[in-house]
A and B are shown apart, each in its own frame.
Chain A
Amino acid sequence: MANIKALVVDDSKIMRSAVKRALNQLMIADFEYVEAKDGEDALSKFNEEIEIMFVDWNMPNMTGVEFSQAVRAEGNEHIPIIMVTAEKSMGKVDKALNEGGANEYITKPFTADKMHKAISDYFDDDGNIATEGEDEEEDKSFFQGILNS
């Protein structure tokens, strides 16, 4: 399995542990975790090695949506952002996905199964992050192969 560096952002240590435990149970990759207690802390710990992020919404100093917007504003469109939050109204979901640039939305409390459904599309069979660019390249190669045959 591939080694994946994941940023887990939540003001609750208990919830950060719950996210890590659920991810470990999935066994889709060997996760190495960087933890942050709010959006500001997450921004200070964010770097180019981070491959996927699990972000709470309601946190002091900087919310998860504000953090996601800041990350996207720096051009990191390829990194999957999974919003893991207690906020459940459709307006909040819409805001996180459209204004915050999150890729997926998981409501608390969650199970490992719920986590798997949300994130499995972002991993290939080897446990690497399947980016859109890679998918497109694979698609292009596939079609190119048909054309050449």
Chain B
Amino acid sequence: MSIETLDRIDDLDEIPAEMVEKVQESVINTFGSIIGEELSFVDEASDDSALNGIIGNVTVFNSEHTLSLMLAIPKETALYFSEVFIGMPLPFKSDDMGDLIGEISNILAGDVAANVEKVGFRGQSSLPTATRGSDLTLFMPNKPPTKKMKFVSANSEFWLTMVLSESK
């Protein structure tokens, strides 16, 4: 994908494949480092089943475009992440758990920003946020180019939704 491709982003109905590939690579590398397990991309998840867990939100943006990354992490996986990241399981309904998932989102965004730069998207990462709840469903207003992917390791599973839109 070239910068020229990104210039035509408003005409695209999906995120350029090279960009998706770089994000997948970042997810596998980042989470592989964090949890010390081999991670694999399962499929382009198309189901919209509700989540009982935490959503970590972060963006990589420049003045023209914003790449939003939404990590949907089930409760069991969030508990596992806390155990490997800090050495003990955090209470699911705690500020610390939100802090952890926000920080993991931040680490992912740092890797994504460096990786998508290689295919022409130069941007900086935002501060992360985290949302905890049950029956969570993500809606994309105005239907921007979106890609939903599922990743699994021996002890975890989670989803990543990436959205490419105009910066406003």
Contact = CB atoms under 8 A, between A and B. Distances in A.
A58 B127 contact: yes
B111 A86 contact: yes
B96 A13 contact: yes
Interface string B100-138: 101100111111011001000000010100000000000
Given A58-B125, A58-B127, A86-B125, A15 B103 contact: yes
Contact of B86 (A17, A60, A88): A17
A107 B33 CA distance: 12
A71 interface: no
A70 B59 CA distance: 27
Contact of B110 (A13, A15, A17, A86): A86
A24 to B, nearest CB: 12
Given A13-B99, A14-B99, A89 B113 contact: yes
Contacts of A109: 30, 33-34, 107
Interface residues of A, number: 20
B48 to A, nearest CB: 30
Task: Please report whether the interface of chain A is mostly helix, strand, loop or mixed according to DSSP.
Answer: loop
B110 A88 contact: yes
B85 interface: yes
A107 B111 CA distance: 10
B127 A60 contact: yes
Contact of B125 (A14, A21, A87): A87
Contacts of B87: 21
A85 B110 contact: yes
Nearest to B95: A13
6 contacts: A17-B86, A86-B106, A86-B111, A87-B110, A108-B103, A108-B107
Given A12-B103, A89-B113, A109-B107, 15 more contacts: A11-B127, A14-B85, A14-B96, A14-B99, A14-B100, A15-B103, A17-B86, A58-B106, A58-B127, A59-B127, A86-B111, A87-B114, A87-B125, A88-B110, A108-B110
